[in-house]
Amino acid sequence: MVIIGAILTSCTFTEKIYIEENGSGLYQVDMDLSQMLAFAGSLTKSEEGKDDSVIEKALEKTDTTFYFGQILEQKKDSISKLPLEQRLMLESLKDSRLKMIIDEKESKFIANFYTDFKDISEAKDMQNKASNALALASNKEGLASKTVDVSYVYTDKIFQRTISTEKRTKKEQQEYDKNIEEMSMFLMGSTYNLEYHFPKPIKTTTAKDATFSSDRKTIYLSFSMDEIIKNESLLNFEVKF
């Protein structure tokens, strides 16, 4: 699940995976943040006299594709000063790209993150990478907070999507529950979709309320964002071919 550090009321995220016969493929996240743009635009109008240069800059019209191999090369000096874990995460974006379309007049803010993989196991932590790609494209060297640890398995007979739950102390769990409650309020009305394309028809799945393409090679799932914030296990499922 991709979490962006802003109010995302009525925004839509769609996670797509395209798997070829040999197990290679494409991972993609489409983010429609247009409602966030409308919210930011209302701030510039309602906060007259305040320093809103940051907001105005965020609203500049853009239609750009970012190639992270090039960006990492340009920022290599500043990135080299980051802690090892952060540096490795940013460097893992080198084969990824992000297309951003921002148009305040049209109330449009679309971001599409893409990365190719040779094996689906390479898509582990991809949601966090997408968040970091958006941060890096916004001229930030730091990392967004890690939100989830998602792994994938694909064989001739099965596909699995699994979220790992980190162990927390009682105090950490209480703080986590508090944060989740606050996030749920902000994310109410937003949706998170899954769209997975396979090279063979799906026989069965453990996914709740799944729908399929006419040839049963594509599975579709849709959840409200506040629902999965409270229960990420809803996104754990298995497909059998």
Q: Answer yes or no: is 4 within a domain.
A: no
User: What are 150's strand-pairing partners?
Assistant: 163
- Mean pLDDT, the chain, rounded, equals 79
Q: Answer yes or no: is 154 within a domain.
A: yes
Per residue in 61-82, pLDDT (tens digit) is: 788 898 988 888 888 888 888 8
User: Which residues neighbour 120 within 8 Å (Cβ) at sequence distance 6 or greater?
Assistant: 17, 19, 23, 25, 152, 153, 154, 159
Report the alpha-carbon distance of residue 109 to residue 54 in Å, rounded. Answer: 16
Question: Which segment of 14-18, 26-30, 221-225 scores lowest on mean pLDDT?
Answer: 221-225
Amino acid letter, 167: K
Q: What is the pLDDT of residue 228?
A: 81
Residue 184 has phi, psi (to 5 degrees) of -60, -35
Geometric angle at alpha carbon 126, from 174 and 223, rounded to 5°: 60
Q: Answer yes or no: is 218 within a domain.
A: yes
Report the alpha-carbon distance of residue 104 to residue 61 in Å, rounded. Answer: 7
Q: Answer yes or no: is 20 within a domain.
A: yes
User: Which residues neighbour 63 within 8 Å (Cβ) at sequence distance 6 or greater?
Assistant: 100, 101, 102, 103
Domains held by the chain: number: 1
- The candidate with the shortest Cα–Cα distance to 97, out of 24, 4, 153, 28, is 28
At 172, the pLDDT band (50, 70, 90 cuts) reads low
Percent of the chain with pLDDT over 70: 73
Question: Would you say 96 and 115 are in contact if contact means Cβ atoms under 8 Å apart?
Answer: yes
Separation of CA 159 from chain center: 20
Q: What is the pTM assigned to this prediction?
A: 0.78
Q: What is the pLDDT of residue 2?
A: 46
Q: Answer yes or no: is 110 within a domain.
A: yes
* Structural domain boundaries enclosing 60: 12-240
Q: Answer yes or no: is 88 within a domain.
A: yes
Residue with tokens 């993150």: 113
Report the alpha-carbon distance of residue 2 to residue 72 in Å, rounded. Answer: 21
